[in-house]
Chain A
Amino acid sequence: MTAVDEPQSYSGTRKGEPDKTIEEVWAQPTGLRWWSSVSHRVVGKRFIYTGFAFFIIAGFLALLVRTQLIVPGNTFLDNETYNQVFTMHGTLMMFLFAIPILEGFAVYLIPMMLGARDLIFPRLGQFGYYCYLFGGIIVLSSFLFDAAPDGGWFMYVPLTTNAFTPGVSADFWLIGITFAEIASVTAAVELIVAILCARAPGMSLTKMPIFAWYILITAFMIAIGFPPLIIGSILLEANRLLGLPFFDPTVGGDPLLWQHLFWLFGHPEVYIIFLPAAGMVATILPTFVGKPLFGYGFVVAAVISMGFISFGLWAHHMFTTGLPILSLSLFSAASTMVAVPTGVQIFAFIATLAQGRPRMTTPMLFVMGFLFIFVLGGLTGVMLASVPFNWQAHDSYFVVAHLHYVLIGGMVFPLFAAFYYWAPHITGRMMSERLGKWVFWLMFIGFNATFFLMHVTGLRGMPRRIATYPEGIGWDRLNLLSTLGSYILAAGVALFIFDFIRHLRHGERAGRDPWRAGTMEWLYPTVAIGFNFHAIPPVETREPLWNNPNMLGKNAEDVEGVMRKMHDGRRETIGCDPVSGSPVQIVRLPHPTFTPMFTAFALAVAFAATIASAYFVAIAGIVAGLLGFTIWAWEPSDSGVTRDAGMGYVLPVNMIEKRSHMHIATVGTMLVLYALLGSLIFALLYLWNVYPNFAAQTAQPNLLWTGLSMLAGLVLLILAMINRRVAVADKIGLATVMNLAVILASIACTACLALAIQRTDPWGTALGATMWATLGFVALNLFITLYWALFNAARKVTGRVGAGQSLPDFNLATYAKGTAVMVLITGGLFLAATLGGLS
């Protein structure tokens, strides 16, 4: 192999088309094929627009809620409709608006800010979007079947079990939301890898725009925070479909287990929503001050500590459930601590203001609105961390006020700032400053009128989630004013929509870098080319547009950088070292395809069919989905060649080593899977700890089979290690044999684990059911290992993989190792149960 191969000499489904220009290679598909686009710009915009549509729907539901509460004893909505409306309001806002729209902004902005031509897994982006869209449609469609979920967005058991919510309304929620969450988790993994592995040459972690740090931490939080809810939802759905008694106290289940799992997700969720929005603020603020963010390092430290500490306060949503006072004090103390990193960020923003003469633009107005509202929301949050106060305020309108201050102040106001700030980037035209100021003041006044009074309403004893209230106990006028305020807020949003539609045709055309920002997404004239960079410029500072006179001094396409001279006729971008940002590889990116869309659709059919109890259709959907994934991954590898990227960088394509983007993605996926396993283990230990007498009734695992399963796990681990060495050594035949050995070991692991707990009755006790659930999860991973090994073997046997292309085996080895450790952990737990006894 020569150092620099000829373009034609690599294999791949898509032979390079070197005769095409870079514009032609990156051309967006048109017509019906538009739907097959995988570009981060298209997918990001779709996330943003779809998220905004859900915002409008959920906002409309909020207006229904406020209208119902305008007077005591109102009959505008009956109780059932009201319950559906407030449930869907919360659900849509939290799951289908806040997180997806922020991820949309991240998907749209991150590659451009970091100097990549596209997001690192474009097809995964498309898959995530369609999962989100179909999941959202499933949830919304419940209105058509008159089966909208009505158990609250928190879905507390036992209210949402079959006994108290017969029918399919809860299934719509559980299945639709779980499906939409897949989108969030895939986007999270993709963003982690995109930020770590695809940055401009020289952009070390400390040179990244602060937005990328915020998104990086958020993505990690999603990867760890969503799994508890996914597990919770699956357990509850298994309870509803199969009658497994995870939450039934009569057989050792516990309704509080659901609350723990839900809030283990639900509390970090708030910060998952807040952090990207704060990242937007930290991006917008320096632009209008004209100086870099003050205290970059402090903010990074604060974001990291926020990301961690926010996982330690889930139980402050459970202060009234009768937990031991000692637990309450722990969570109370942990809750107050989150004020510190928040304070650091707020004061870093304020210190940035002091650096220069801020320009008062519409985005700045929204940023200032954020500062006011969010600080107050944070302060009431600290109040709620006080246990005795919480006992009074919990589940009252005080909490409603608090959470809207935090979420609308901490997320919606920055989001509107972001709309005004990045609108020229997306549409090429400026939104109206004049209307924008009206939008701001309407929203600001309307918001405070609506929610400030709710603090008082709550402390006057009005509980949340009540469809009606009696007259004359001090809530009438407060509610009336809150409702009027909500109409003003809605008017502001309506005016924004008008402005947005107006500006598409009549807005002033935006010039290049219209706000005089310093980050790289503004390098090209607005509505830039689809591949972001003709050449990826080396980056020395955090605000390259301010500090590098080359950038705005030249035409954007003439800015010097790597990859200018590469004309392989493939979509490709530069891959970097995660820490230092120095280029280490060239990443070949896929072209437009319908496969991810088809896969998402097949899974959507499977999920929807499960709601409709059409299980054969569901199985067909799952099989089709698996087929989709297989086709998706079937194309030959691009590894094994080396190319000259210019500027002295001669780099391998899709390199095979630990820093490969594929490998980091595999590790990221393992992180998600371990969070899922961790949630199940939490459930096991929790039930065992809380109901000793029911634990004693659960049959102990069989010692022999448990031992054998651990042995099989160990074998799998060793085989995986060998498989990696063989892959690195590039021995194709031996690797095929190792694949088959991994398959056998996976089967052995599954069988031994199942035989170990064969006497445990999943319907007998909740602990038994959870043991089977854990087994099911590990078995699923073993099945994926098996399928992947089979897939790799098949590709090698059919000659799709050539020399130097063992990346799939390299990654499989990592996955198999992770699975083997899962088997060892599970086996260890079973062993402990056998030896120590469950009693």
Chain B
Amino acid sequence: MTALGRQVWGLTIPAVAWAAHFIAIYALISAACAPRGLIDIPLMFGLGIVATVLFGIAALWPTIRPPKGAALTGAIRVGGLIFAVAILFDVLPLIFSSGCGG
């Protein structure tokens, strides 16, 4: 793959990591808080943290070590940062709430 190709991947990976994380958190909340009650709250919490660490690293990776090439490095850094913060924001409700609430 060309250097530019790798850089484009560097832009995409954090985005995909965010999407996977968001789907994971949404699925966990749905599994825990819907009438079926597939999993209990502590498990939801634990899996949520695991997913956050995992995808958070994936999202930050290109920011820390951008693929070689100069064309998009700035954009990769900013993009990775935005998505990492978004991942953090998405998990905040899980951390700060004691249950499904309401």
A residues adjacent to B (C-beta < 8 A) = 204-206, 296-298, 300-302, 304-305, 307-309, 311-312, 322, 324-330, 332-334, 336-337, 340-341, 344, 579-580, 686, 688-692
A330 interface neighbour in B31, B38, B90, B99, Cβ under 8 Å: B90
Q: With A340-B82, A690-B36 as known contacts, state yes or no: A325 contacts B100, CB within 8 Å.
A: yes
Interface residues of B in 5-25 (CB under 8 A from A): 5, 8, 11-12, 15, 18-19, 22, 25
Bound form: Cα–Cα A337–B22 in Å: 12
B80, chain A: closest CB distance, angstroms: 8
Across the interface, name the chain B residue whose C-beta is closest to A299: B75
A333 & B90 in contact (Cβ 8 Å cutoff)? yes
Contact A302 B78 (CB under 8 A): yes
Interface of A is mostly: helix
Which B residues touch A325, using CB under 8 A? 97, 100-102
Contacting A301 at CB < 8 Å: which of B31, B71, B82, B94? Answer: B82
Q: Which of B63-102 contact A (CB under 8 A)?
A: 71-76, 78-79, 82-83, 85-86, 89-90, 92-94, 96-97, 99-102
Q: How far is the CB of B90 from chain A (nearest CB, A)?
A: 6
Is B86's CB under 8 angstroms from A329's CB?
no
Asked if B4 lies at the interface with its beta carbon under 8 angstroms from chain A, I say yes
Instruction: Determine if A689 and B26 form an interchain contact, defined as CB atoms under 8 angstroms apart.
Output: no
Supposing A311-B19, A324-B100 touch, asked if A329 and B82 sit within 8 A by C-beta, the answer is no
Chain B residues near A333: list those with CB within 8 A: 89-90, 92-93
Q: What are 10 sample pairs from A and B whose C-beta atoms fall under 8 A apart?
A: A301-B11, A305-B79, A309-B18, A326-B33, A329-B96, A334-B89, A337-B89, A340-B85, A344-B78, A690-B35
A302 touches B29 (CB 8 A): no
Partner of A297, one of B19, B36, B75, B83: B75
Contact A304-B89, Cβ < 8 Å, known A689-B30, A689-B38: no
Additional 17 contacts, C-beta under 8 A, given A312-B90, A579-B4, A690-B34 = A205-B8, A297-B75, A298-B75, A304-B11, A305-B15, A322-B102, A324-B33, A326-B97, A326-B100, A327-B33, A329-B92, A334-B90, A336-B89, A337-B90, A689-B31, A692-B35, A692-B36
Chain A nearest Cβ from B101, distance in angstroms: 3
| Contact in complex: B82, A341 (CB < 8 Å) | yes
CB <8 Å contact, B36 and A301: no
CA gap between A807 and B96 in the complex, in Å: 55
Determine whether the beta carbon of B26 is less than 8 Å from that of A330.
yes
* Closest chain B residue to A335, Cβ basis: B89
A688–B94 contact, CB under 8 A?
Answer: no
B22–A312 touching, CB < 8 Å: yes
Which residue on B lies nearest to A344, using beta carbons?
B78
B26 → A minimal CB distance (Å): 7
The interface residues of chain B lying within 8 Å CB-to-CB of A341 are: 82
CA separation between A340 and B18, bound complex, in Å?
15
Q: Given A305-B79, A305-B83, A336-B89, check contact A297 B72 (CB 8 Å).
A: yes
Interface residues on B, range: 35 or more
Q: In the bound complex, do residue A297 and residue B33 qualify as a contact, i.e. CB atoms below 8 Å apart?
A: no
Q: Which residues of B contact A330 (CB under 8 A)?
A: 25-26, 29, 90, 93-94
Q: Closest A-chain residue to B38, C-beta based? A: A689
Complex Cα spacing A309 to B8, Å:
18
Contact B29 A204 (CB under 8 A): no
What is the bound-complex CA distance between A329 and B8, given in angstroms? 32
With A304-B15, A305-B15, A308-B15 already in contact, the answer to whether A326 and B78 are too (CB < 8 A) is no
Bound complex: CA of A312 vs CA of B33, how far in Å?
18
Which residue of chain A lies nearest to B6 when distances are taken between CB atoms in the complex?
A579
Rounded to whole angstroms, the CA-CA distance of A325 and B99 in the bound complex is: 9
Q: Which 3 A-B pairs have the closest CB atoms?
A: A325-B101, A329-B93, A297-B75
CA A204 to CA B71, docked complex, whole Å: 10
Q: Report the minimal beta-carbon distance from B20 to chain A, rounded to whole angstroms.
A: 11
Chain A residues with Cβ below 8 Å from B35 are: 689-692
Closest residue to A305 on the B side, CB-wise? Answer: B82
**A332 and B94 alpha carbons, distance in the complex (Å):** 12
User: Is the pair A324, B29 in contact by a Cβ cutoff of 8 Å?
Assistant: yes
Contact across chains for B4 and A308 when beta carbons are under 8 A apart: no
Known: A309-B18, A325-B100. A301 touches B76 (CB 8 A): yes
Q: Say whether B85 contacts A326, CB under 8 Å.
A: no
Give every chain A residue within 8 A of B8 (Cβ-Cβ). Answer: 205, 579
A690 vs B34: C-alpha distance in the bound complex, in angstroms?
A: 6
A301 pairs with B97, CB closer than 8 A: no
Residues on A with beta carbons closer than 8 Å to the beta carbon of B32: 326
- Give, as a whole number of angstroms, the nearest-CB distance from A500 to chain B: 38
Instruction: Give the Cβ gap from A471 to chain B, nearest Cβ, in Å.
Output: 37
B2 to chain A, nearest CB (A): 6
Other-chain contact of B34, A302, A329, A689 (Cβ < 8 Å): A689
Q: Which residue of A lies closest to B101 (CB)?
A: A325
Chain B residues with CB under 8 A of A686: 30
CB–CB B75/A301 < 8 A: yes
Given A324-B29, A326-B94, A688-B36, check contact A334 B22 (CB 8 Å). yes
| B residues in contact with A322, CB < 8 Å | 102
Distance of A233 Cα from B19 Cα, bound (Å)? 25
Once the chains are docked, how many angstroms separate the CA of A324 from the CA of B28? 13
Residue of B nearest to A295 (CB): B74
Chain B nearest Cβ from A659, distance in angstroms: 12
User: Which of chain B's residues has its CB closest to A336's CB?
Assistant: B89
A16 to chain B, nearest CB (A): 34
A204→B4 contact, CB < 8 A:
yes
B89 to chain A, nearest CB (A): 4
Report whether A329 and B97 are in contact in the complex, using a CB–CB cutoff of 8 Å.
yes
Q: How far is the CA of A469 from the CA of B37 in the complex (A)?
A: 44
Beyond A297-B72, A304-B11, A333-B92, whether A326 also contacts B99 by CB under 8 A is: yes
How long is the Cα–Cα vector from A296 to B82 in the complex, in angstroms? Answer: 16
Inter-chain contacts of A334 with B (CB < 8 A)? 22, 86, 89-90
Residues of chain B within 8 A (CB-CB) of A304 are 11-12, 15, 79
* Chain A residue, CB-CB nearest to B102: A325
Residues of A within 8 A of B22 (CB): 311-312, 334
A205/B4 in contact, CB under 8 A: yes
**Complex: how many Å from CA A336 to CA B86?**
9
CA distance A302 to B11 in the complex (A): 10
Cβ-closest chain A residue relative to B41? A326
Give Cα A95–Cα B89 distance, bound, in whole angstroms.
32
Give bound CA distance, A205 to B69, whole Å.
Answer: 13
Residue of A whose beta carbon sits closest to that of B21 = A312
Contacts of A301 in B (CB 8 A): 11, 75-76, 78-79, 82
The answer on a CB contact under 8 Å between B19 and A308 is yes
Q: Is the CB of A206 within 8 A of B93?
A: no
Given the complex, which residues of A lie within 8 Å of B97, measured CB to CB? 325-326, 329
**Smallest distance from the beta carbon of A655 to chain B beta carbons, Å?**
18
Nearest-neighbour CB distance to chain B for A15, whole angstroms, equals: 38
List of A residues within 8 angstroms of B101 by Cβ: 324-326
